Each structure stands twice: as C-alpha cells, then as structure tokens.
Amino acid sequence: MKTLISVVGTTGIGKTKLAIALAQHFNTEIISCDSRQFFREMKIGTAAPSEDELSQAKHHFIGQLSVKDYYSIGQFEHDSLGLLDQLFEKYDIVIMVGGSMMYEKAVIEGLNDLPEANEENQKKLETIWKTEGIEKLQEMLKDLDPEYYENVDIHNPRRLFRAIDIIWQTGKTYSENISYAKNPRNFKTIRIGIEAPREKIYERINLRVDKMIENGLLEEAKNLDELRKSVEGRNLASLNTVGYSELFKYFDEEWGLDFAISEIKKNSRRFAKRQLTWYRKEENIHYIEAGYSEKDFNRLIEYINSKTSM
C-alpha cells in the first residue's frame, strides 16, 4: 500500500527541516498542510519555506493563493487527495507537513458531512463580530465547546463562525460533529512528531519572531495594510493571522512596536499550547526529539521502513 508520512509538531519546532530530509531520503515530494502558508503575500510571518528550502525538495500548497482568495478546508481535502492520487502514481511514499491540525485530519481521515453554512446564523455572527469584536465569538465558542476552543485558531473569525454555526444547527458540539472519519483512505499514514520540552518550544518561538522582524515582517505586514483598510479587505479572515494582526494595531497607533512584537510571541506560544493539547490526545504519533542527531534520524528511517514493509 502507498504511504503518506505526516510530519507534525508545534509551530517553530523544525518540521520543514525534517520533512525535507525525509523527502530527500525517499526521493519524493512534500505536501504542505499549513493553512497560512497557502498565501503568497504572507511568507515571512508564516515561516513559509525559503527559496533554498523549496529547491531542496518539491513542495505543493505553498503560496498558491492570494489572501483575497477563499479556500475552505473541504477544498483542501479535495485538492490534496487528487494530488496524492497523482503523486502515488510516481512514488510509493509522499511527505506531508504542517501544524494546521484540522487540515491534517482532513487529509488522513476525512471530514464529516457537515451541514452547509446557515445564512441567518452567519449574519448574526458577522454582526456580533463587527459590534462586539472577536473576543465575544471566542467567549461564545468556549462556552459551547471548550474542547474545540482549545484546538481551533481563535484568531480566525471564519473558523469561529463555522464552529458556532454547526453547533447551533446540530445541537451537538463541533468536537462531536468532527469526531468520526468520513471516508477510508487508500493509503497508509505514518505520523511523525517532533517534540521538545515546553520551555524549549517557547524559547524557539521567541527567537523565531525576532528573526522574522529582522527578515522584514514589518514591511510584509505594511504591504497588506492598505488592503486591510479597504472594503474588500475588511472581512478577510486571512488577515487575522498571528504576526500580522498585532502589527496592524501598531500601524493604527493602538500599540507600540515592542508591545506588538511581544503580543506576536505570546499569541504564537498560545497557538503552540493548543497544538500540544491536540497532539497529546493522539495515540498514533511516533516522536523524534527536536535537535535530533544523525543516529536518531537513521533510527527514524528504520522505523518508517519497518512500518511500510508491514
């Protein structure tokens, strides 16, 4: 059976490096399931692979969209499965990498047939967002489904809209609605996680944010600021991304720059905490330590080979 190796872990832990090493070892290609790296205008703040990294192994779903484009998780499931069919004609193994937990789930397990968005509910939620802010939506979801609240990107209003809408329509928590796979897959999945002590993860995140600022994150965010203020950009969920939404408050003179940067670090650490919560509940992840040695990597290859030969 064909095999998908899914590399998971918290933000900033080194997933791209491991995915490239695996792709080179198995002479194959990489699918990204990081939903923010889909946007070509947001390279620095999403830590998208560099040109050098992209040249080391072929990547898919990196910078293929504009922030103006609507792209749902259902579309990603459809597109990635279609791509996998093509790739598995050439390769026995394909690599997937990314920290967007639901996007990984969509590919390896499938999503339930959830109801379409209810227009009336969407309008109500849009009004709440505009009048009371995203904090009110976060509070509502926390009350309705504390489990999903711990895992969702709470800075993305569209994700909050979707979850609350589904809860209102079905009378069940969003977590219950998505708990069962929709379709069996015609490939085997091996999940590889990268782990480190929490304090080490947080330290890496802080250093990475500083590096992003050095690499031009301010200029990248500034290039999106005019769009954000336009009628077209006002409701773009893509612009409510950690690393950008904080700098927009700096541009609006609500916050100083140092405070905005500290908020990027804080919100990135919070996201990492949600990722840790999600992955700890999963039982089928084989872990390797961040900062692994060549011997550790060779052991990982042995583990993968033992699983693919079964």
Helix (H) or strand (E) holding 287: strand 285-289
Q: Binding residue per annotation — 10?
A: yes
**DSSP reduced 3-state for 179:** coil
The pair of structure tokens assigned to 303 is: 């583990």
Q: Binding residue per annotation — 13?
A: yes
Length of the chain: 310
- How many beta carbons lie within 10 A of that of residue 115, not counting itself? 11
pLDDT band at residue 180 under the 50/70/90 scheme: low
For residue 179, is pLDDT > 90?
A: no
Residues of the chain with CATH 3.40.50.300: 3-112+187-308
- Domain 3-112+187-308 sits in CATH at 3.40.50.300
pLDDT tens for residues 190-209? 999 999 999 999 999 999 99
Q: Binding residue per annotation — 295?
A: no
DSSP state string for 56-77: HS-EESSS-B-TTS---HHHHH
Q: Binding residue per annotation — 200?
A: no
The matching CATH number, chosen from 3.40.50.1110, 2.30.30.280, 3.50.50.60, 1.10.20.140, for 119-177 is: 1.10.20.140
CA-angle at 76, arms to 75 and 82, nearest 5°: 95
Residues of the chain with CATH 1.10.20.140: 119-177
Q: What is the pTM of this model?
A: 0.86
Q: Binding residue per annotation — 170?
A: no
Q: Binding residue per annotation — 46?
A: no
Angstrom distance (rounded) from CA 90 to CA 31: 15
Q: Binding residue per annotation — 14?
A: yes
Q: Binding residue per annotation — 63?
A: no
The least confident of 22-31, 48-57, 189-198, 270-279 is 270-279
